[in-house]
């Protein structure tokens, strides 16, 4: 199939590391970004990547050939314009069998768009006429998008390109094919911790979590307790407190932005939260932090 003419003549070589819009994710979430895109050029016949137990991975073969071997005895040989999904539960090695150029997408998050978990909406059944398994042919439009990801160290950019990838995949492939590709993490309860960390800033309580995960509230409470060892309410309070202190420590002083960033409705809700959780006003909390006492 003839590839479409690239929109960009060359792949951007910029190495910018400062977010141009100073977004909250880049200002406060740089330590452990949930998404990372990177290009690698492995030498033939040398294993170059082993499993990272903390991230899921999609390997895109742009040029060359790669052999994937898993601890379960699975063997996949990838050629150009193919990709493979490797869940973090997998133990595997990657070996280039020819001079190769790959794009790796490592991610720990669930893709949540418009308050809906994208993968959970896929069909869980695979049509017999559909190829099954974690290997997918890369559509020319998808290749063009992946091939022109800029080399910038900006967390929100990496996240944005991940979201673009998922939207394009939903447009270019059948639900059954994507269900087979992402099988190990298809439902939120397959990876509940990642789901919760991806969307907790958008929820007010267990009812919002359950709706986004397509579960009953009772089921979600049980699975949450099994995963986190505490109630949804207690966890949310602790996480919001941790986020609030991190933002203040990084210089944020606008109470409206502070409230919105931790999932509270307004400044009044932020005031009440600080009184209950920190036993002081938000103004006092900021002052304590500024003086180095917090």
pLDDT tens string 34-68:
889 999 999 898 777 665 567 889 999 999 999 99
Half-sphere exposure (CA, 13 Å, Cβ side) for 193?
A: 11
Q: Which residues make beta-bridge pairs with 116?
A: 113
Task: Provide the CA 279 distance to its chain's centre, in angstroms.
Answer: 34
Helix (H, G, I), strand (E, B) or coil at 59: strand
Distance, in Å, from the CA atom of 276 to the CA atom of 59, rounded to the nearest integer, reads 46
Q: Pick the closest to residue 209 from 190, 226, 227, 196 (CA basis).
A: 196
pLDDT tens for 208-248 read 888 887 788 999 999 899 888 899 999 999 999 988 888 88
Q: Pick the closest to residue 11 from 168, 191, 150, 116 (CA basis).
A: 150
Q: Pick the closest to residue 35 from 57, 62, 18, 12 (CA basis).
A: 57
Query: Would the pTM of this model clear 0.85, i.e. be above it?
Result: no
Q: What is the arithmetic mean of pLDDT over 108-128?
A: 67
Distance, in Å, from the CA atom of 188 to the CA atom of 182, rounded to the nearest integer, reads 12
pLDDT tens for 165-199 read 999 999 999 988 998 899 888 877 667 887 888 78
Query: Are 128 and 76 a contacting pair, CB within 8 Å?
Result: no
Distance, in Å, from the CA atom of 243 to the CA atom of 2, rounded to the nearest integer, reads 48
């Amino acid at each position: 199939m003839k590839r479409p003419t690239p929109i960009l003549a060359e792949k951007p070589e910029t190495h910018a590391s400062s977010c141009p819009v100073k977004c909250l994710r880049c200002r406060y979430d740089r330590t452990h970004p949930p998404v990372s895109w990177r290009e690698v050029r492995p030498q033939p016949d040398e294993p170059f990547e082993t499993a990272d137990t903390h991230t899921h991975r999609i390997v895109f073969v742009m040029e060359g050939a790669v052999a994937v071997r898993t601890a379960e005895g699975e063997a996949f040989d990838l050629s150009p314009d193919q990709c493979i999904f490797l869940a973090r539960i997998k133990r595997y090695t990657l070996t280039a069998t020819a001079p190769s150029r790959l794009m790796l997408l490592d991610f720990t998050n669930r893709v949540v768009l418009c308050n809906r978990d994208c993968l959970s909406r896929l069909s869980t059944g695979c049509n017999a006429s559909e190829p099954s398994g974690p290997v997918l042919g890369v559509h020319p439009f998808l290749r063009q998008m992946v091939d022109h990801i800029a080399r910038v160290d900006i967390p929100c950019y990496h996240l944005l390109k991940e979201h673009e990838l998922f939207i394009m995949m939903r447009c270019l492939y059948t639900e059954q094919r994507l269900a087979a590709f992402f099988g190990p993490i298809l439902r939120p309860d397959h990876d509940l911790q990642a789901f919760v960390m991806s969307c907790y800033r958008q929820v007010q309580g267990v009812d919002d979590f359950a709706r986004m995960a397509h579960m009953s509230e009772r089921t979600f409470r049980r699975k949450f307790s099994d995963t986190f060892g505490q109630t949804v309410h207690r966890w949310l309070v602790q996480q919001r407190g941790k986020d609030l202190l991190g933002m203040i420590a990084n210089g944020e002083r606008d109470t409206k932005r502070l409230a919105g960033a931790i999932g509270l409705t307004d400044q009044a809700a932020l005031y009440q939260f600080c009184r209950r959780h920190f036993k002081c006003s938000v103004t006092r909390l900021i002052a304590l932090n500024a003086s180095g006492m917090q």
